[in-house]
Amino acid sequence: MSRFYYDHHPIATVMEYSQGSLGRVFVIRLEDGEDLISSVDRFLAVKGVASGMILFLGALRGGGGS
């Protein structure tokens, strides 16, 4: 863990940070009517993804659950 010091701040402030790099990046497009959770779960299993981040762009239909 590294530390970053704010020199020009009236109160001594230290922010800890770490640096990484992107590994594999996937862009997935689901077809209309495909189940989001099961499709992504299946894709991650096939690709051997153990951890990551998902950013969704778009809309869901009928995902309210009520």
- Determine, yes or no, domain membership for 16: no
CB 1 within 8 A of CB 14: no
Higher per-residue pLDDT: 40 or 10: 40
- Determine, yes or no, domain membership for 34: yes
Q: Which structural domain, as residue segments, surrounds residue 35? A: 24-66
- Determine, yes or no, domain membership for 5: no
Q: How many CB atoms lie within 10 A of CB 44?
A: 16
What's the pLDDT at 61?
72
Q: What is the pLDDT of residues 8-35, one digit of tens each?
A: 655 666 778 888 888 999 999 988 889 9
Tell me how many domains the chain contains.
1
- Determine, yes or no, domain membership for 19: no
pTM equals 0.58
- Give the H/E segment covering residue 42: helix 36-47
- Determine, yes or no, domain membership for 46: yes
